[in-house]
Amino acid sequence: MVLAVVAGLAVSTVPAQAAPEPPPPGQSHRQPGYGPERNQVAATDAAPQLRAATAGENRQRGDHRGYPRQTELRTYPADPSDKSIKLGLSPYHALAPKLNELQQRSNRISVEVAGQSGLGRDLYLVTLTAPETSAQSWIQEHWRDKIENDPGRAARDAALRNGYKTPVWINNNIHGNEWEGTDGALRVIEYLATTNDKAALELLKRNRIYLNLTANPDGRVAGTRANASGFDMNRDFVTASQPETRAMREMVLGKQPVMMLDEHGYVENTLIEPTTPPHGQNYDFDLYLKHGYENGLAMEKAVQALGHPEAAKPEIPFRDYEPGVWDGWAPIYTAQYSMYHGAVSYTIEVPQRVNNDAYHLPAEELQRRSKINTDVVEATIRTTIDYANTHRTELIDNQIEIFRRGAAGEPQRQLPDGFVPGFGPEDRYTTEFPRAYVIPAGDGQRSAPAAARLVDHLVANDVRVQRAEQDFQLAGRSYPAGSYIVDMHQPKRALANVMLETGADISGKVEVMYDISGWSHRLLWGASVDISKSDAPNVRVTSVTAAAPTGGVDAAPGQDLALAVRDGKDVLAVNTLLGQGRPVHQQADGSVVVPASERVAVLEVAKNLGVRFTAAPAGERGPLMRKPVLAGAVAADELLVLRELGFEVRPVSTQVLNNGFDLSRVDALFVSSGLNYRELNASAKNSVKRLFQRGGVITRGATGAAFNTEAGLLPVTAVAGREDANGVVSVTNGTGPIGSGAPESSFVYSPLWFTGLGAGVTAEQRYAQENPLAAGHWLPNEQGQGPAQAAGAASVVSGVDESGAKTVLFGTEPLFRAHPKGLYAQVGKAVFWATTR
């Protein structure tokens, strides 16, 4: 193979604490062994910001400059605390100097700053290719666009098929304490940038190799799986809540790789995708699996050829694992997301554990293990580059065909048994693509800010959205001009559909799932979205690059102004007005009213946040509100969202309260992680009880329900479902201040429901009377508690205890990984209600 000699060349590096790991096969992410559990460990504030980036942002799409595109990278002070040092690996501060040196030595390497981490560290996109003039680069970009946007003609373009440089993308170190991807990539980078081997030079004339050197520099330095905000970014791709994830998304969209690797650790012997079933039902799986399996076998041979006994028997889940243990269902992972952009994708898990408890081994042993892992990384990269080079025409045709089927609206192919060895009935997952989705404007839209956010998100993911220029009818419904249409005859229809369809209840298909099994931007992001199964839109449209503005005031001067709190932007608008000292009245249904005298301030907030105020009906005004201050024993994702909603949140935990944290200036306690009432000392309990007498309590999940019981708040019984149960659920909403106006879908993970509701307790929301699971994986637990037992039971309750504390208990997951954005308002209304007297 062309790059076989790379294995013996190691880039010199400066000779790295740890965090949670993926569970072993068959083990739930909520079971012991997966590090901090959402109900056990509270969030903490992120570390202080590093100095601002100076290199600027390089947008990855539509760049026609020639190659090399070299950047003199800013360098960082040496950080002896960098956790990679102990492993003999490259600390973050050594990366820029090394890349600067290679750029000085070679015209085959380009380094661009693709963005910044949460703490402001630069993200390095390295490109390896033979030099190109700007004209040559332009034709490459023209061909890339043609493959996606005109795939029928691309398939017949002989010059394209002969001259297009095959793009391969290697993503490294997305989990900060899985270090070796970066170092294996550095070896390949140095070799290809400096070798005189004729075969390698020819390879670079026909290929572009893109490497994201470290996707998580903050985690690399700190030795944590998550980034500085506490997010596992390999669960973030269809939400894109993190700056690092958005940078990776731009790499995928801009470079449109035909193959990609996401380098991870640690699975004994090495793990090489493809996955077990269930497979994502929106894929053109035939166009993935043939090359996915063949190159998987090639990587296995390359790893075995290293001669390391620790990597002698690589594991290919499709071949070796039971269904569900390492599935390819969710689009939240780097590899699975990349498939929707035309890539044959892999997650690679190198074999020798060096993080978590293993990090405390002697440095000599850790460095021995890291050397093995780096060899494995290098072998998988080398093999994949060679495979892409050898099979370039087939892979280009493969990507063209993915986009051609989407644009033509063709049905998915039914694959025969034995399509590849081992393929059988358990591997068949398909869906029926609708003809179009419509995001209505006007009175048919539940929330204009939610609709605008959804449209912008679809566009950011390269989904084509159009806006109707006139009124029209579709599938028996009438829509006003300004409504948005997602015509499903488009190249990336699979990505559009995986975001907008309901999903599937796969509880009966497999016993376990690796991670979440349900998500739906249509059902969970708060916007009204209609489906046209077979009718095509017939109306003049314009292509959308950004959603139209939605903010405004629909009331005459002199009228009081009302805001229905239906979206997170509405919550932020209320907090903004309260923060300015404006008088805001809370109504019984959770909406708010602002006096007409505040019209100028309201207009500014409406314009900036895209919310819409209407004329308030005549009648009694509710109590005046004030901007709440929260003490939050919450998970990292919840902390991020609560602050995005404009709340001041002061992180707490059992230990923080026992250390004397002052609750006297706090209006409510939010409990979901890291706080055990029984473990509070006497002083802390007294402080909490004093808060009950003047403030509120909001809880989520098992930790929150236990706090409610132990503190003697609401008289309810919390019933727990299976720990790994998760998905989109159907709900019915009450008319109280929290349930009123909420979406008819919610999200659960380790679902709870409440029975035995005592006096004064209101069911703000209930699970649907029939099977509440719309999409996901929810089986009964050992006690027989499952969806049938949850049906009709309360999922969210509120009430006032004997001390006067207003309390809200969530059995759902309304802030989960910053994804179910349509549920944020429900949490905001709970906080407002609990803190308003």
pLDDT tens sequence across 711-751: 999 999 999 999 999 999 999 999 999 999 999 999 999 99
Q: What percent of the chain has pLDDT over 70?
A: 93
Amino acid at 547: A
Q: Residue 802: what pLDDT?
A: 84
The residues that bridge with 624 in the sheet, in sequence order, are 585
Helix, strand or coil, per DSSP, at residue 122:
strand
How many CB atoms sit inside 10 A of residue 120's CB? 16
- Contact criterion met (CB below 8 Å) for 215 and 79: no
pLDDT at 817 over 60: yes
> H or E stretch including 777?
strand 773-777
Q: Residue 810: what pLDDT?
A: 98
User: Span 552-615: which CATH code?
Assistant: 3.30.70
DSSP 110-162: EEEEEEE-TTSPEEEEEEE---B-HHHHHHHHHHHHHHHH-HHHHHT-HHHHH
CA distance 624 to 832: 11
Output the average pLDDT for the chain. Answer: 93
Tokens 């504390």 correspond to what residue?
A: 805
Q: Residue 794: what pLDDT?
A: 98
Amino acid at 453: R
Instruction: List the single range of 17-21, 317-321, 423-427, 824-828 with lowest mean pLDDT.
Output: 17-21
Give the pLDDT band of residue 179 (cuts 50, 70, 90).
very high
Give the pLDDT band of residue 16 (cuts 50, 70, 90).
very low
pLDDT at 75 over 70: yes
Could you tell me how many helices (H) and strands (E) the chain has, helices first?
24, 33
CA distance 470 to 482: 7
Helix, strand or coil, per DSSP, at residue 40:
coil
Q: Residue 45: what pLDDT?
A: 53
How many CB atoms sit inside 10 A of residue 354's CB? 29
Amino acid at 122: D
Token duo for residue 124: 């390095």
pLDDT at 13 over 90: no
CA distance 435 to 41: 45
Q: Residue 837: what pLDDT?
A: 86
Q: Residue 34: what pLDDT?
A: 31
Q: Is 723 a catalytic residue?
A: no
Q: Which CATH architecture is the domain 4-11+108-270+304-314+330-408 placed in? A: 3-Layer(aba) Sandwich (3.40)
Give the pLDDT band of residue 4 (cuts 50, 70, 90).
very low
Tell me the average pLDDT across 673-691.
97
The CATH 3.40.50.880 portion of the chain extends over 629-835
CA distance 34 to 21: 6
How many CB atoms sit inside 10 A of residue 78's CB? 11
Radius of gyration of the chain, Cα coordinates, nearest whole angstrom: 27
DSSP 149-178: H-HHHHHT-HHHHHHPPEEEEEEE-SSTT-
Tell me the average pLDDT across 607-630.
96
pLDDT digits (tens, 9 = 90+) for 86-129: 999 999 999 999 999 999 999 999 999 999 999 999 999 999 99
pLDDT digits (tens, 9 = 90+) for 534-547: 999 999 999 999 99
Tell me the average pLDDT across 290-318.
98
Q: pTM score, two decimals?
A: 0.93
Helix, strand or coil, per DSSP, at residue 52:
coil
pLDDT digits (tens, 9 = 90+) for 449-487: 999 999 999 999 999 999 999 999 999 999 999 999 999
How many CB atoms sit inside 10 A of residue 411's CB? 10
- Contact criterion met (CB below 8 Å) for 132 and 140: yes
pLDDT at 643 over 70: yes
Q: Which CATH architecture is the domain 629-835 placed in? A: 3-Layer(aba) Sandwich (3.40)
- Contact criterion met (CB below 8 Å) for 444 and 486: no
CA distance 23 to 224: 16
The CATH 3.40.630 portion of the chain extends over 4-11+108-270+304-314+330-408
CA distance 420 to 418: 5
> H or E stretch including 451?
helix 448-460
Tell me the average pLDDT across 762-767.
98
CA distance 150 to 146: 5
Provide the strand spans (E) within 564-628.
585-586, 592-594, 612-615
Kindly name the residue from 263, 349, 378, 764 that is annotated as catalytic: 349
pLDDT at 32 over 80: no
CA distance 787 to 114: 45
Q: Residue 43: what pLDDT?
A: 64
> H or E stretch including 730?
strand 726-733
pLDDT at 285 over 50: yes
pLDDT at 587 over 60: yes
pLDDT digits (tens, 9 = 90+) for 130-171: 999 999 999 999 999 999 999 999 999 999 999 999 999 999
pLDDT digits (tens, 9 = 90+) for 48-62: 344 333 333 333 445
pLDDT at 797 over 90: yes
